[in-house]
Structure 1
Amino acid sequence: MKILIIENEIYLAQSIATKLGELGHVCEMCTSTKDAIKSNNYDVVLLSTNINGQDFNPVIETFKSSIVILMVSYISNDTVSKPLAAGAKDYILKPFMIEELVRKIDHYQDYEKLKKRNRAYETYLEHTFSTVSHEHNHSEIELPIYISSSFQKYADAFAFKHASSKNLPLHFITLSDPKAMSEIETISKNCIIYAIDYQTLKKADKKTFCELISDRQVIVASTDNIDDVENNVIDIKSESNVFDQGDILPIEDYVKFIVLNYQYKFPDTELSKKLGISRKSLWEKRKKYDIIKKK
């Protein structure tokens, strides 16, 4: 990383620069805030608040996109509280171990990376679900709840929208994972669990699962009809124009969608013909996707 050290104690600045340089960082030094604000191309700024008669706000404003860590000799409103309120990330009390400074730098660097990654994910999800209408009043929905939809994207949109409306983290689990049950037991109750692939569970396992989540905040998604749960089931029907919303489904998803939605409208002979496959292949597809056709 590129680090700027703003410190009027030259020997201290050189000592910090040397130790950080040994760890692979590129360090530059200056003794005044006026010199510091001539450039803003730094990942980290180490700002000493011991420089008398200097205004730190311009430095913090200039480097608002950088990690600004205050180096202080004593804690006061002027040396810590005001600079932190202005946008500095943290402070470290002199004298300090270089390992502690590096720990703070690494911590905030990871934090900034996570912020950028989360923003990218949020933007992507907003774009992905922009074609899915939200007709549910999430403030009135009580969890656990079961979502039945032959189009997975609809259930996903519901889960992420609900978590956002409650301002709670979402923990994703696929019930096709043998460790899913034990994982649920370890998750904090202050977190919404989004469990998909309910249709893959065996009857006995479904009963165990439903008992396990009876007092938890869980959204359960299934691509099959849910007929073994009496309450809190929402059936999200796929719209007839699902293929006209800018999405191109993979062949396997298309076949699964057609089988789920049209297996009761056409006999297997005609359905397999429309899909361009044999009846045996249709049977194999049902087995692969765990689709049960009731007689």
Structure 2
Amino acid sequence: MKILIVENEIYLAQSIASKLSHFGFVCEMIPSVGEAMQMEAADIILLSANIPGQDFYPLIEKFKDSIVILMIPYVNEEMVMRPLKAGISDYIVKPFMIDELICKIEHYTAFRQLQKEIAFYRDYFCNSLLMPTYSINTKISFPLIIKSVSQKVIDMCVVNYAIHKKLAINFISLYKNHHYKEIFKSVSKTQLTYIIGFETLRKEEKEECVKALKNIPVIFACLGGDLHDFKNVFEINVKEMTHGFQEDVLSVDEYIKTMILKFEDKYPDTELSKRLGMSRKSLWEKRKKYGITKKK
């Protein structure tokens, strides 16, 4: 990660650069704003606010996509509020401890990464051709079970609902939890919780989950199995809901998982593995990977 230190006090700049290098940062020291304006890119800008006779606002504008931390001699409205409004990430008062600076760098680095991830996922779901189609069009009572042959379709449906209701999503995977009761500790009564892998539970376990989470904002994703005895089931028929497509294209993993769930009661393992073009050992490994417990 490259850090540009814009500081006319050379000994201070050298001291900061030396200490930051111990943390793995690559530092470049620039004594003036004019020279810094010639630089093409930097991940982080440490900008001194008291370089005599130099306007640092054009530099803030140029590096608006970088993390800019203003190094100031004291705090007042002009020194802090105007630069913050102009786009700096934060400020730090000189002299400062290097640990304080590292904490700010780590915080804003993580924050920027989170912003990029949020932008990516929002882009992915909102700009998908299927996104406007897959929406919950009924009145909801919780917990809600959404059933479909495609995990992607259920994901889109839940994200669409969360965006529409302006809710954050707490995500839980039953594929990773060793025991389904562990999810009860992670469910919030005020935040929307999205739980995938509902089909991996036995019927009595499903019933216990639904009962324990009554009236709590929880949505279960279910890729197969019999849900006739459950209320609050929203089933998405992919073929009916796609516009201009005959069917939804599943990934190989989604297809194999769906086939195992759909036909494991109909065929013995020898026949099912043969129809899927794999060995019985491979079928067992797939069940383990997807968290599917073989029904007895």
Count of residues paired in the alignment? 275
How big is the shift at 1:254?
Answer: 5.9
Cα deviation, 1:187-222, whole Å, max 9, x if unaligned, reads: 433432112332332233223211221132111122
Question: Does the CA contact (< 8 Å) of 1:56 and 1:83 recur in 2?
Answer: no
Supply the RMSD in Å over aligned alpha carbons.
3.5
Task: Report the counterpart of residue 146 of structure 2 in structure 1.
Answer: 147
Question: With structure 1 as the length reference, what TM-score do the two structures score?
Answer: 0.77
Aligned pair in 2 of structure 1 residues 90, 189: CA closer, same or farther (>3 Å)?
farther
Residue 114 in structure 1 maps to residue 108 in structure 2: no
Q: Which residue of 2 aligns with 1:224?
A: 225
Residue 237 of structure 1 is matched in structure 2 by: 237
Structure with bigger gyration radius: 1
Q: Aligned residue for 1:66?
A: 66
Q: Distance in 2 between matches of 1:245 and 1:150?
A: 11
Cα offset, 1:14, TM superposition: 1.9
Q: Structure 2: give runs of 5+ residues left out of the alignment.
A: none
Instruction: Summarize deviations over 1:124-152 as a string: whole Å, max 9, x none.
Output: 4456x5336235348x5343212122333
Structure 1: gaps spanning 5 or more residues: none
Alignment of 1:171-190 (within 5 A): 171-176=170-175, 177-190=177-190
Q: Is the 8 A contact 2:5 2:46 kept in 1?
A: yes
Distance 2:193 2:117 in 1: 21
Per the normalisation by structure 2, the TM-score is: 0.77
**SS across alignment from 1:69:** strand
| Helix, strand or coil at the partner of 2:71 | strand
Residue by residue over 1:39-96, the C-alpha shift from the partner in whole angstroms, topping out at 9 and shown as x without a partner, is: 1311111111123443221010111121100111211222111111111111111111
Could you say if the C-alpha distance between residues 179 and 95 of structure 1 is closer, same or farther in structure 2, counting changes exceeding 3 Å?
Answer: farther
Q: Does 1:101 align with 2:101?
A: yes
Counterpart AA for 1:107: H
Q: Name the aligned partner's letter for residue 130 of structure 2.
A: T
Residues 150 and 257 of structure 1 are in contact (CA less than 8 Å); yes or no, is this contact kept in structure 2? no
CA pair 188-94 structure 1, distance change in 2 beyond 3 A: farther
Conserved? CA contact 1:73–1:93, under 8 Å: yes
Go from structure 1 to structure 2 and tell me whether the alpha carbon gap of 1:252 and 1:211 turns closer, same or farther (over 3 Å shift): closer
Taking the aligned partners of 2:40 and 2:14, their CA distance within structure 1 comes to 21
Cα distance between partner residues in 1 of 2:185 and 2:253: 36
- The alpha carbon displacement at 1:290 in A equals 6.9
Kindly state the Cα deviation for residue 15 of structure 1 after the two structures are TM-superposed: 1.5
Encode CA deviations 1:203-244: one digit per residue, 9 max, x unaligned: 3322321122113211112223422223x2212223169774
Q: Percent identity over the alignment?
A: 37
- Alignment of structure 1 residues 186-201 onto 2, 5 Å: 186-201=186-201
Q: Which moved more, 1:190-199 or 1:73-82?
A: 190-199
